[in-house]
Amino acid sequence: MEIAVEQTQQRKKIHPHKFTLWVAIGSIIMMFAGLTSAYIVKSNQAGWQTVGMPNVFWYSTGTILLSSLVMQMALRSFKHREMNQYRLLIAATFALGVTFVILQWLGFRQLWNSGVQFRGSSGGGQFLYVIAGLHALHVLGGVIALMVMSVKAFLGRTKLYGSVPVEMMATYWHFVDLLWIYLLIFFIWVG
């Protein structure tokens, strides 16, 4: 334990992997900035049709907010070495992540059945599918990482005490959460 403390004091710099994640987040933000600015440009042109938000998205928003909270609790219990609690919480985050993706899918189905489809004239709906779909893909990436972490936590073969991977997972997870909140507000505000 003393050695660990000494090491953290010695290293004033941020862990390179964490830093890489932050740069990656910047990169992802640029992608969504590109898409949402395209949305704004297009919404000022002729033939634009606005769409209503499917109700299911409110449930998915609740789910992802909750999952962020659970992820934070998982990180705390990992740091306090409460491994049983950590295992349950990380698995719960994973389950909530899966739920979010399923809910998004249901939202898309609802929208599709209400007549907002790909063919024909342009509008907010087409953008909604692309933007929210790409967001869901990023969540799915996080879900896969969570699955790997949960399996590792339950198998317990690797004795991993460094909290860096868990911290990075939490950072990424909060990021996709915030990104969704931004997109939701964007859709309501501009659309």
Q: Mask: binding to other proteins, 6-45, rule CB under 8 A, as x and -?
A: -x--xx-xxxxx-xx--xx-xxx-xxxxxx--x--xx--x
The distance of closest approach from Cβ of residue 94 to other proteins in the complex, given in angstroms and rounded to an integer, is 17
Q: Which is nearer to other proteins, 30 or 151 (CB)?
A: 30
* 182 touches other proteins by CB under 8 A: no
Which letter, b or e, does each residue of 62-91 get, where b requires 16 or more Cβ atoms within 10 Å of its Cβ?
Answer: ebbebbbebbebbbebbeeeeeeebbbbbb
Site for other proteins in 98-137 (CB under 8 A): 118-123, 126-127, 130, 134
Sequence-distant (6+) residues with CB within 8 A of 172 are 21, 25, 142, 145
Map tokens 């189905």 to a residue.
109
Return the number of the residue (16 or 115) whose C-beta is nearest other proteins.
16
Q: Closer to other proteins by CB, 1 or 23: give it.
A: 23
State which of positions 141-160 bind other proteins (CB under 8 A).
Answer: 160
Q: How far is the CB of 116 from other proteins (least distance, A)?
A: 11
Is residue 47 involved in binding other proteins (CB under 8 A)?
A: yes
Task: Report how many residues bind other proteins under the rule CB under 8 A.
Answer: 43
Does position 84 interact with other proteins (CB under 8 A)? The reply is no
Q: How many CB atoms lie within 10 A of CB 118?
A: 9
Site string for other proteins, 48-67 (x = CB under 8 A): x-------------------
Residues found near other proteins in the complex (CB under 8 A): 7, 10-11, 13-17, 19-20, 23-24, 26-28, 30-35, 38, 41-42, 45-48, 118-123, 126-127, 130, 134, 160, 162, 164-165, 168
